[in-house]
Structure formats: structure tokens, C-alpha cells
Structure 1
Amino acid sequence: MRVQTSGRAAFLALADALVPLTGHYDLVVVDSPPENVMLVDLALGAARWVLMPTRSDSGGLVGMRLVAERFSLAREINPSVGLLGVVLFGTLSSARAIHAEVRADVAAAFGGGFDRC
């Protein structure tokens, strides 16, 4: 495995592979499931911005916390990666109590304040 031989620098492999292509695109989207830690690490190593979708159920929030943990580690390898935002879906817009709970979970996971949810 490349991580064993190259160390944490291996997490820049996707970024290195995408460099020749990025001049042809305005936006490159990498979608990965949060439980695939290796793919999340590769995506975070290549990303400039992260837009994290989540649901308000326990599975969605666990996945968000997993990505948040990997995000913190990725900033050591890719210091330019930033959190663009967290998008809550599958919840009624009138569910203010749920939005407040998710906002608190997002702030705790990513270490920041989030005004909109």
C-alpha cells in the first residue's frame, strides 16, 4: 500500500492525478462515502473546498463527525482545504428545533459557528 511506503504524503495522490485535468474544468466534484476513510482522505488531500451534506438522523450525523475528524487531519497535509459549509437535507424547513440541534452538532464537529442550517 502506498501509505505504508510513502507515509502521509500518499494522501496527495489524487491531487497529483487531477492536476493535469483541472485546467479544463471550472469545478471538479469528488463524492465519497464517509465510511471509506481512504477515499475521504484522498478527496480531502485534493480539495480546496469541502461541502458536507448531512441528514439529521444518527447515521448522517455519525458520517459528518467521521468526515470532520478526517478534515482536521487533512489540514496538516493540505493546509489550503477549507469548509465551504454543511448542507442539511431531508428535513422540513420548519423544523427549527432539529436545525438548532444539527447546527450545534456541526459546530462541535468542525469547531466553528454556523449561522444557517
Structure 2
Amino acid sequence: MIDELQRVTIRDERIITEKMAKVQESVADADMVNLSHAVSEMMRRGHVAGDDVAAISERVERALVSKERKMEEMLAAADDLRLMTLTSIVDDILTPIQAVHFLIAVLELRLRVHDWGKRRDEQR
């Protein structure tokens, strides 16, 4: 059962990864490149007026809205896959007592990683 779950999870991870790569590539699509060139050209000419910056900023924001939405969809898909995997392990594979021990171990790991991160941040 674990082997089958692993196969399904790996397949679904691959699909999500491929979609995410396409979303990331779209951040540097023709619209964004053209906007970047327009700003660079204005800066080279020294013509960076407030109205120009505001107009370009508005165009950038509009271009990024759909890209942000797609990234949010990919994050939701990854979260759904994690939840599906966890649910399958707990409900379908482990016995109830094994599930309890597994969930305790997961929580302990999460708490340790959180603590390590906090300590590392404090040291910086």
C-alpha cells in the first residue's frame, strides 16, 4: 500500500512541478520583458516622471495578478497533495495506534524545526 501511495504521490508531484515551472516561466513572459525594457529605456533617457512610473507600475500590477493567482493555485495543489498523502497514510495504511505515534512524531518534528529556525533567526 505504501509503494502504491508513493507511486501516486511521485506522479502527482511531477505534474505539480511541471505546472509550477510553467507558471515561473510566465513571470518573464513577453509582457514583463516589454515592461522592463520600457522602464530601462526611460531611466537611460532620464525621463522617469511620476506619471510614467505610475502608469508602468499599474501595468506591472495587472500583469502580475494572473501570475499570482496561478502560483496560489499551485501552492493549493501542493497542499492538497500533502493532505491526501497524510490522510491516506493515517486512514488507509496505519493502525490507529500507529497513526497516533506517527502524528506525534510529525508534530514533534515540526516543533523542533520551528524552534531551530527561531534560534537561528535570533543568532543573526
- Please state which band the TM-score falls in when normalised by the shorter chain: under 0.3
TM-score, scaled to structure 2: 0.24
More strand, by proportion? 1
Larger Rg over CA atoms: 2
Structure with the largest fraction of helix: 2
